[in-house]
Amino acid sequence: MAGSLRRRPDRGADTWELRVYPGRDAAGKLRHRSVLFRETKRSAQRELARLTAEQDRAPAVVPEEAARAWGPATTINDAIEAWQANGWDDLSPSTARHYEGVWRVNIHDPIGRRRIASLGSYDVERYFRDLKTAGLSQASVRYVRAVLHRACRLARKWSNNTLPNPITDTSCRSGPWRSRARRCGLSPPMRSVCCSPPLPTIATHGYRRSSACWQRRG
């Protein structure tokens, strides 16, 4: 019987997660039994070999998971937990660790407790903006969005399309005016002047952006 080993630095130095796979349940989903082991990697490998040999000698009963109720009360955290139980085993250990870190640090408390059915595009985009304000990079915010989108897409599928995917129509791009200001090397005070949406008079009178910025400053 196969097993796997991965380091768990979040649980302390020299901590390893040992996984043994007893088989598949009645639904065909691969099940596993996990234990934490604190020792050197060589010792963890020996313990994993012992556990897999024990499983081969006396196979453990494959657990049957109670059916998860998908409905209006389902939260973002519920969706990610279900994805973790039914999907993360197919990922590399490093990818699974990265997903879990993003979930625990950026999603679990700020938005994870919200019900999926109660979220709209505005709520999600405000959450993305709060992450940026807190100092998260644009690339990191995009990664958070990718994790949320995948979890909500699976929740929609597993709920037989009764749940929405509030991430689909969202965007986490930076504003075009602010990006132009950075490229032009404007100082922060000038960015506050020039990086807001154009004034109506720009379209009316055909001012150049630079002229409009100076007009607003004056």
Pick from 36-40, 72-76, 139-143, 186-190: least confident: 186-190
Domain match, 75 and 50 both:
no
Q: Could you tell me which of 62, 8, 65, 66 has the C-alpha nearest to residue 39? A: 8
Whether residue 16 is found in the same domain as residue 104: no
Pair (78, 138) in one structural domain: yes
Q: Residue 210: which domain range? A: 176-217
Residue with tokens 């209006």: 72
Per the structure, the count of domains in the chain is 3
Are both 103 and 132 inside the same structural domain? Answer: yes
CATH of the domain at 130: 1.10.150.130
pLDDT above 70: residue 119: yes
Check residues 52 and 108 and name the one with the higher pLDDT.
108
Nearest to 175 by CA among 186, 187, 191: 191
Cβ-contact 181, 194 below 8 angstroms: yes
Do the strands 3-7 and 30-38 form a parallel or antiparallel pair, or are they unpaired? unpaired
Mean pLDDT of 136-154: 94
Query: Do 100 and 42 share a structural domain?
Result: no
Which pLDDT band, with edges at 50, 70 and 90, does 60 fall under?
Answer: low
Total Cβ atoms within 10 A of residue 144: 22
Flag whether pLDDT at 50 surpasses 60.
Answer: yes
Whether the predicted model's global pTM rises above the 0.75 cut: no
Mean pLDDT confidence for 67-81 = 85
Residue appearing with tokens 């950026």 = 106
To the nearest whole number, what is the mean pLDDT of the chain?
77
CA pair distance 150, 139, nearest whole angstrom: 17
Read off the pLDDT band of 24 (50, 70, 90): low
Whether 201 and 186 map to the same domain: the answer is yes
pLDDT in tens, 168-181: 999 876 554 344 44
Whether 125 and 76 share a structural domain: yes
Which residue, of 46, 65, 84, is where some domain finishes? 65
- Under the banding of pLDDT at 50, 70 and 90, the label for residue 59 is low
pLDDT value of position 11: 77
